[in-house]
Chains A and B, each alone.
Chain A
């Protein structure tokens, strides 16, 4: 089944404790992206990647890191999480850029206390 898999689904952590949210797709998509969703603000892009080793900032990149060492994986790293990073996070992938629809993962609900 074609899908984007995110883990974990739910995560509660403490301020400052480094964490990684994993994202993997099995569709051989070139393009991958991370979004955060907050009430009233919609989906805001954190980082995106156009291919292996090629990444760029989205609208809200502060406090996040990404890497794309393999085509299928695009982990999101929070090196020192803060409470304002409490949010619902989605990973998405597509064949390439803005001309193709996105497939979203199931989401990760992160709470930083």
Chain B
């Protein structure tokens, strides 16, 4: 079953912050975050593992609440280059498949 992402779309002005949420009905071992720009392939941002710490990547960071089976992606002081569709992917461990959400379309405007 696909994880649920929210919001489905968001428009920001440069410099504003955003939070994208991802929740699953299954127990999770890992949560992946990817960004896809229009007409391009998804690009890996970060992965959070069960028992691991909050991750950060420049001004983009994420958290993973194992008990609630939820993850959040935080974008601070957004830049025009942050525009794109963000996908979370969830895994239950081992070689089991990663299941992706339907995506959150983020648009940053000047």
Hey, which bits of chain A sit against chain B, CB under 8 A?
31, 33, 35, 40-45, 48, 50, 56, 58-59, 90, 96-107
Judging by beta carbons under 8 Å apart, are B30 and A42 in contact? no
Interface segment out of the listed B13-21, B37-45, B67-75 = B37-45
Judging by beta carbons under 8 Å apart, are A103 and B44 in contact? yes
Counted as pairs of residues, one from A and one from B, with CB atoms less than 8 Å apart, the total is 74
Judging by beta carbons under 8 Å apart, are A45 and B99 in contact? yes
Chain B 19-34 interface mask (CB, 8 Å, partner A; 1/0): 0000000000110101
B76 CB–A CB distance under 8 Å: no
Given contacts A43-B87, A90-B42, contact A59 B29 (CB under 8 A): no
A86 to B4, CA, bound (A): 25
Judging by beta carbons under 8 Å apart, are A98 and B96 in contact? yes
A58 to B97, CA, bound (A): 7
B103 CB–A CB distance under 8 Å: yes
Judging by beta carbons under 8 Å apart, are B44 and A50 in contact? no
Judging by beta carbons under 8 Å apart, are A105 and B41 in contact? yes
What residues of B have a CB within 8 angstroms of the CB of A45 in the complex?
97-100
What residues of B have a CB within 8 angstroms of the CB of A59 in the complex?
97, 99
A56 to B44, CA, bound (A): 23
